[in-house]
Amino acid sequence: MNSYRNSKYQATTNIVLCMVLIVMFASCEFSGRGLKTHDFPKPVDTHTKAIERQEKRSYHTEAGLTADNRFDAARLNNFVQINDSSFLAEIRPENQPVNNSAWYAFKLWAEDSATRYITLKYDGGKHRYHPKLSDDGENWLRLNDDALIYDSDSINVTLQVEIGPDTLWIAGQEIQDTERVHQWWEGLNGQSFVTIDTIGRSALGRKMLFVELSNGEQKDNDVIVILSRQHPPEVTGFLAMKAFVESLIRAKKLEAFLENHTVLIYPMINPDGVDMGHWRHNSGGVDLNRDWAYYRQPETKLVATHLVDWVNELQANVLLGLDFHSTYKDVFYTLDENEIQTKTIPWFRNQWFAALESKIENYLTNEKPAGLRTPVTKGWFYSQFGAEGITYEIGDDTPREDIKRIGKISAEQMIDILMKGNE
């Protein structure tokens, strides 16, 4: 009898316990808006790895030519003279394995003016970025094609350049180090609907920048998130992000758009990697755009936590994440609709791409859909928020005027399409 009563009691207790657990789980699901970890099909080890730090110095040669890497975003691992007019600039990545983003940046000057031959000698990659030249670090010109000679192995190249007493900057792309990016970010301050802020510091103490476009009443709003510069050399993607954000700020419909929307911008996610002249990784030797699962690196953790907290505090709803990058040609990496049904605006992407084609002369959208694989932001926006995620890639050599035009029109069309909704 006793044991019957006991087991009945036990059963009741179990049922109650189960119900409590179910309620807890359900409420967890319901309010499951905290930062989640995600098991992507192809996980990546993003624990901190060793990096090689380049020695910051001047290299003086007997031929009277000096090379120098003592500035932010520089990359020059060694510099040696071959003969009176030929020199080797050795370029290495911060660590390996690394995807081929062979960034270089250094200054040269000489006692006398003459034509010199500078070979970019890569170790751990091969030539990718067509050289840009500058005499002030601000205004850049593309080296003439006929002044660039490819080695027979297609790994190294030799530049034919005039070098004299005035400093000549040579870099893979226009230099956009943290100081220059800070100037841009500070310049946004004071414009209508713009708030600038920092969300913390990178591993080595550099500011993590944030920009909010809102009318001050963000509660329950739909949110668009913009990310940039996870990968240091991807300057063309950064230039597109700048054009995109500046066009949003200038858009005639911005005020109306901000009635129901807020735009959150993280313009420089890897400031340490940028200033250290890295090919791809942060100061922890990790590709940040593979860390959107367990947030092992401080920069991804800061951005992800800040965004999720912001959204939860204002009971807002992330619709869309745009992450700006660079690759060999313009491309939009999207989530494959056959594998993934985003919950927010699955209709947006096709309308947006069609609008770009109709508004930009001779423009064909190059869309590459794929399912969830590695822990990149595109998949994270979906896994974390059910949102649409698009990687906005600009070609390394896309003309800068085109980058501005595409950035502007894609911003204006995004506003138009999101305001109209799915008609």
Q: How far is CA 34 from the centre of its chain?
A: 23
Which residue, 249 or 331, is less far from Zn ion as judged by CB? 331
Cβ closer to Zn ion: 206 or 325? 325
Helix (H) or strand (E) holding 409: helix 400-420
Q: Shortest CA distance to 393 belongs to which of 209, 208, 228, 265?
A: 228
Which H or E run contains 345? Answer: none
CB of 130 to Zn ion, least distance (A): 18
Q: Identify the bridge partners of residue 369 per DSSP, sorted by sequence position.
A: 334
Nearer to Zn ion, 127 or 325 (CB): 325
Find the shortest distance in angstroms from Cβ 231 to Zn ion.
4
CB of 181 to Zn ion, least distance (A): 16
**Of 388 and 396, which CB lies nearer to Zn ion in the complex structure?**
396
Residue 172, Ramachandran bin (φ over 0: left; ψ between -120 and 50: alpha; else beta):
alpha
- CB atoms under 10 Å from CB of 350, counted, come to 14
d(CA 75, CA 233): 11
Contact 143, 126 (CB under 8 A): no
Q: For residues 404 and 406, give the distance between their C-alpha atoms in angstroms, rounded to a whole number.
A: 6
Q: Min. distance of Cβ 230 from Zn ion in angstroms?
A: 6
CB of residue 234 to Zn ion, shortest distance in Å: 5
Which amino acid appears at position 283 of this protein? S
Contact 126, 95 (CB under 8 A): no
**Using CB atoms, what's the residue nearest to Zn ion?**
325
| Footprint on this chain of Zn ion (rule: CB under 5 A) | 231, 234, 325
Q: What is the DSSP string of 62-87?
A: TTSEEEE--STT-B-SEEEESSSSEE
β-bridge mates for residue 321, sequence order: 225, 389
Q: Which is nearer to Zn ion, 121 or 231 (CB)?
A: 231
Considering beta carbons, is residue 94 or 234 the nearer one to Zn ion? 234
Give whichever of 396 and 412 is closer to Zn ion, judged by the CB atom: 396
329 secondary structure, DSSP code: S
- The nearest distance, CB 384 to Zn ion, in angstroms, is 19
Q: Please report how close the Cβ of residue 35 comes to Zn ion at its closest, in angstroms.
A: 23
Q: Which residues contact 3 (CB under 8 A, 6 or more apart)?
A: none
Question: Among candidates 324, 338, 135, which has minimal Cα distance to 243?
Answer: 324
CB of 325 to Zn ion, least distance (A): 3
Q: Residue 329 in contact with residue 364, Cβ under 8 Å?
A: no
Comparing CB distances to Zn ion, the nearer of 231 and 242 is 231
